[in-house]
Amino acid sequence: MQKSIASKGLKKQKTFDASFTANQEDEADKYSAIYMALAGYDPLAGVVVWKRMHQAVGSYTGNMLFDHPLNDDRAKNMAKYASAVRQYYKPDSINPDHEKILVNNSLFSYTEPSTAKAGEGGGIAALFGAVTNAYSEVAAAKAEQRKRQIKQMEQERIAAQRLRFDRLQIANANDGGRGLFGVVVNPSGKAITQAIVALEYLNGQTVLLKDEIKWPAMQAYEQKEFGIPLKPIQYSSVSVRPVYVQLEGE
């Protein structure tokens, strides 16, 4: 039903499909917060987990093909959920009112489904509920997709300010192949801890192939020469640009 409600163009987009999964992952985090609190575990522990993940692997929009929330976003959302459910948290003990709280709490309320039979209107009510839910989930997926596209553009805009490629040229490499050579500069006043660079093989304006390269860490204001081996394919030009750069302390 969700697929039929989505427009034909959206159905073909991988990022739109993946945005459903991202919303479901966020919903799972929300439920985990309430269950942790009711079971006697500090719900803020989830925040620590996702902050560690962000420090370890970053929060690049290209990772996981858009089908999970980004690590830094996940940490922020978990902080919000943990704050909402902390009132139910009793350290190292199960909340005695857990059954009642799971029905109605600061994050969600549960509504019993209709007991009416199909001939008494129950079938129509169930269909109406399913259609309403499908419309809501499609709308949420579209909103999530737009948010991620904006996040990706913002990450690339910031990356371009933090990592710069100069004096680029294609030349023969020592192994007999061809390589892209030049100078890379970190113009920011902080060390780069993680970076992803997009290497694109072009035919005119058409991208034939795109590689994403994990770039080495760089010190503040560091400048150094580099060389990237190129694939033996037919292309008219090659471009290189940073798509994600994380600075020390972020």
Tell me how far apart the alpha carbons of residues 25 and 137 are, in angstroms, rounded to a whole number: 13
Q: Helix H segments across the chain?
A: 2-5, 8-11, 14-38, 45-57, 71-85, 98-103, 122-162
CB-based contact 179:49 (threshold 8 Å): no
Q: How far is CA 69 from CA 17, 28, 31, 147, in A?
A: 14, 11, 15, 11
CB-based contact 246:214 (threshold 8 Å): no
53-73 tens-digit pLDDT: 999 988 998 764 567 888 999
pTM (2 d.p.): 0.78
| Domains of the chain and CATH, by start | 2-157 (no CATH), 163-247 (2.60.40)
* Nearest residue to 228 (alpha-carbon basis) of 209, 242, 213, 241: 213
Q: How far is CA 218 from CA 35, 135, 221, in A?
A: 42, 47, 8
* Amino acid letter for position 148: R
pLDDT band, very low/low/confident/very high, at 239 (cuts 50, 70, 90) = very high
Give the per-residue pLDDT at 63.
60
Give the per-residue pLDDT at 120.
57
152-196 tens-digit pLDDT: 999 999 999 999 999 999 999 888 899 999 999 999 999 999 999
34-57 tens-digit pLDDT: 999 999 999 999 999 999 999 998
